[in-house]
Amino acid sequence: MADKGDSCPVMTFPLAPKIQHELKMKFGSFDKGLVAVGQGRYLLQPHCRLYLDKYAQFRFRPDDVVVMGFPRSGTTWTQEMVWCMTHDLDFTTAINTPLRERSPFLEGDSFSGPDLPLPSFLVDSFLKQHPDEDPRTTGVYLARAESHPSPRIIKTHLPFSLLPPSILESCKVINVARHPGDVCVSYYHYQRLAKSVSFKGDLEEFLDLWCRDLVMRGPYWSHLSEAWAKHTHPNLLWLYYEDMNKDPLRELQRLDHFLATDLTEDEQLQVVQHSSFANMKARPATNYSLIPESPALVPGEAEFVRKGATGDWVNRFTPQMKAKFQLMMGVVLELSGAIFNLLSTQVFNVLR
């Protein structure tokens, strides 16, 4: 039976006991299982129920820029570029202040495990503003997003259906998409790295869950199709990870036009250099794996900013894995071809 609390207008649905058992066995931090959320049946941890109504009612400001996309699609990269472009190219602050402090993560409260320690900078800030409230119940990430000074660069991995219906009338949104094979590989490494997930299996096991829409934040395809359905809206800009990798200056110029930041060519080149993969990987401000004894990350796993490659999924999948992946792709395209046939072929033409 669907669960709909008085304070949560978004429907949540329990998973089958057999599926819950499988997920608890393969993910070290899913001891309470997952729930399916909304019509897209997006998988989140059960404590998300505390915040779903708040996400759906969040008040965006006219000068907000929301960077969204499925995890590991290039949102961190885009955040860094957009923050610098909208903050007078303040590279000194960008280099010395973690991106997570400069750019609020809207649903971080439901993404982080309920038993893991919260970032101290968020808790300290929250208690100063809300001394009589429980950081867990109210949400420290949400409070940070609400109180953050303008212009806010807000990151979210939520799909449009879990955000306010008026979001595109309220502010500008950038959706970042990436080849599903590369997303799967990168997400696998992140799911092993994040203590809030702690995946225990190998890539083949993760791909099996991916193809069955049993990874947290999935289904990938529902998330993507919701964004594509709005791709003609003037306040929505689509970026492709592959295009950003191939010609970062061209894509930054598209961002400059969309954001109306009016950067000179020299300033654009400065942002490209600052946000290059090598520089972002070398800085603790963007590569959180470089922060000593990070409480959110598992030691010994691949770094938060890992490889930055395009097309590497081909090298990582065995022939059997490729066959499974392409079979899943075939089903998706058959069911949703009208949507995905319109998408960039360089990103999604994986069946040839």
The tens digit of pLDDT for each residue in 40-54 reads 999 999 999 999 999
Q: Is the dihedral of CA 294, 298, 304, 307 positive or negative?
A: positive
Instruction: State the chain's maximal CA–CA distance in angstroms.
Output: 59
Backbone dihedral angles phi then psi of residue 183, each to the nearest 5 degrees: -60, -45
Backbone dihedral angles phi then psi of residue 10, each to the nearest 5 degrees: -90, 125
Model pTM? 0.91
Residue 335: predicted pLDDT: 55
Which of 213, 184, 191 has its CA nearest to residue 314?
A: 184
Residue 58: predicted pLDDT: 97
Residue 7: predicted pLDDT: 38
Residue 338: predicted pLDDT: 46
DSSP symbol at 289: G
List 21, 47, 148, 157, catalytic entry: 157
CA distance 92 to 95: 5
Helices 180-193 and 203-211 cross at an angle (nearest 10°) of: 120
Residue 334: predicted pLDDT: 56
CA distance 322 to 204: 10
Residue 208: predicted pLDDT: 96
CA distance 130 to 100: 21
- Polymer length in residues for the chain: 352
3-state class of 36 per DSSP? Answer: strand
CA distance 276 to 315: 24
Active site residue 157: yes
Which of 260, 234, 241 has its CA nearest to residue 173?
A: 234
Adjacency order of strands within the sheet including 12-14: 12-14, 35-37, 42-44
pLDDT lower than 50: segments of the chain: 1-8, 337-342, 344-352
Helix runs in 195-341, H state only: 203-211, 220-228, 241-246, 248-259, 265-274, 277-282, 313-316, 319-340
**Domain architecture of the chain: domains with CATH:** 59-348 (3.40.50.300)
Residue 238 · residue 258 · CB < 8 Å: no
**CB neighbour list of residue 264: distance below 8 Å, 6 or more residues apart:** none
Residue 225: predicted pLDDT: 86
Which of 121, 95, 93, 91 has its CA nearest to residue 108?
A: 121
Supply 297's token pair.
Answer: 């990350």
Residue 200 · residue 28 · CB < 8 Å: yes
Residue 333: predicted pLDDT: 60
